[in-house]
Structure 1
Amino acid sequence: MPAGTGALTPIPPLFTALASALSAATTVPSTPAAPAPGASAPAASTGPGQAAATAAPTDAASRAAAPAPGTAASGLPPSGTAPPGSLSWAGAAAGLSWPRQVLEALAGAVARRHGLDPALLRAVIQAESGWNPAARSPAGAVGLMQLMPATARELGVTDPLDPVQNLEAGARYLRRQFDRFGDWRLALAAYNAGPEAVEAHGGVPPFAETRAYVEKVLRLWATQAARREEA
């Protein structure tokens, strides 16, 4: 289990980005279509005072070193992470329909805050929940980034159905896995199966679900990145 971590402090820019997205999304339907599956993605972005991997996750590029922000990765299973209860809009989040455009804008802001490529975080969200903030898996994972209850509690999430908390948690946990393993394939495998499983097997665990998950996210990441380049 990861070392205890306190709630994150409010980040004004994050709320600004969300507010802007909300006003810009007034004509967006509340249940937008999910992007086509089977895409992939490269690159990591830059975070505050730290470089991030930017090359596509080929076998070599997936090991692109990204300066660690000073936190060691730790270990709850897959969909688990560390968010800030302080980032929750005191009950307001529950009353929003959260249009896809708003969620994508929020995901981009959260990704940049944690030194992640927005295309990567969006790929993980697509693979985990298909952008459904209320998604629940048979195993009990909840929300956009499918946080397991124990993981959410350990990392300070008070409401995993709150997209703000869920995204912050998922992004922070994913970043920690990359800082721990220095390889995006391994980081994604750790997000899905847990860091202990990655360490125990000395690489991506031989679990069909985990291997399929890693490949799916990499494909989605590549597709997201390609679309960004064309824009």
Structure 2
Amino acid sequence: MARLSFFASLMSWLTQRAAPDPVFPPATGPAPISPAIEPDFAIAWGARVSAAFKRKAIEIAHRLEMDPNHLMAIMAFETGRSFDPSETNRAGSGATGLIQFMPATARDLGTTTAALATMSAVDQLDYVERYLNPYKGKMADLESAYMAVLYPRGVDKEPGYVLFRKGSKAYKLNRGLDTNGNGYVTKTEAAAKVSVLLAEGLQPGVIG
């Protein structure tokens, strides 16, 4: 309930204070950062990133109609808390960056994982937004927001929806999400570790 209240307050604050949404930039250039977002508006993991990154993440979350805390928790999880745009997947999938872009996904976005790895974290946020934009308005809860990154088919599914089953390549790559070891990963189970990162990101010294 507290998270919902925070999101409602954020939407109200941004509606009153933020400038009109900027036109989404071409793939060749970064999005402008509006000064309308005050750098002291605290969000999860905000103390661990630059003011420019934090401000831009809030703006992106506003445009995508999602909680910025959820976006930050997802990026913290996908990068092992580093927010490093060159972070690579340790399971060998070839994924790279803030939300672990797969090579094919990078190509669909008009770039490559190699190019993404050379970007600053702030610039790579443009590609995070471009990737998540098709799910705008569908990521109100943390589980659904994370599904947009991990398994888009699960965005609008119920919490118990099974994503991966033992024996599949997808399960092998994500077996660490099978916390109870029963051979399959549900939507709720898949987001459990992200939820832990959300709670961690809201702790004193990390929130900011």
TM-score, normalisation: structure 2: 0.53
CA distance in 2: counterparts of 1:177 and 1:228, whole angstroms: 31
Q: Answer yes or no: is the 8 Å Cα contact 1:190–1:197 preserved in 2.
A: yes
Distance 1:202 1:118, change over 3 A: closer
Contact 1:140 1:149 in 2 (8 A): yes
Deviation (angstroms), 1:83: 8.0
Matched with 1:227 is 204
Q: CA RMSD in A?
A: 3.9
Identity %: 26
Q: How many residues align?
A: 149
* DSSP-derived class of the 1:156 partner: coil
Which of 120, 127, 145 is matched with 2:70 structurally? Answer: 120
Matched to 2:77, the amino acid is A
Q: How does 1:178-189 map to 2 (within 5 A)?
A: 179-189=137-147
- The 2-side partners of 1:227 and 1:168 are apart by 28
1:125 and 1:145 in contact (8 A); partners too: yes
Alpha-carbon deviation of 1:171?
Answer: 4.0
Give the equivalent residue in structure 1 for 2:102.
148
2:150 match: 192
Q: Counterparts of 2:193 and 2:97 in 1: how far apart (Å)?
A: 19
In structure 2, do the counterparts of structure 1 residues 197 and 141 end up closer, same or farther at CA, with 3 Å as the change threshold?
A: same
Give the AA of the match of 1:220. L
- The CA distance in 2 between the partners of 1:127 and 1:183, in whole Å, is 16
Mapped to 2, the partners of 1:228 and 1:120 lie a distance apart of 18
Unaligned residue ranges in structure 2 (runs of 5+):
32-45, 164-177, 179-184
Partner letter of residue 73 of structure 2?
Answer: A
8 Å contact from structure 2 (residues 67, 140) kept in 1: no
Distance 2:194 2:110 in 1: 26
Considering Cα pairs closer than 8 Å and 6+ residues apart, tell me whether 1 or 2 has the greater RCO: 1
CA deviations on 1:122-179 (whole Å, 9 max, x unpaired) are 3112200122322111111111221112222323346211123422222454465351
Q: TM-score, normalised by structure 1?
A: 0.49
Summarize the Cα distance change of 1:230–1:181 in structure 2 as closer, same or farther, 3 Å threshold: closer
Q: Determine if contact 2:96/2:102 at 8 Å carries over to the other structure.
A: yes
Q: Quick check: 1:105 aligned with 2:51?
A: yes
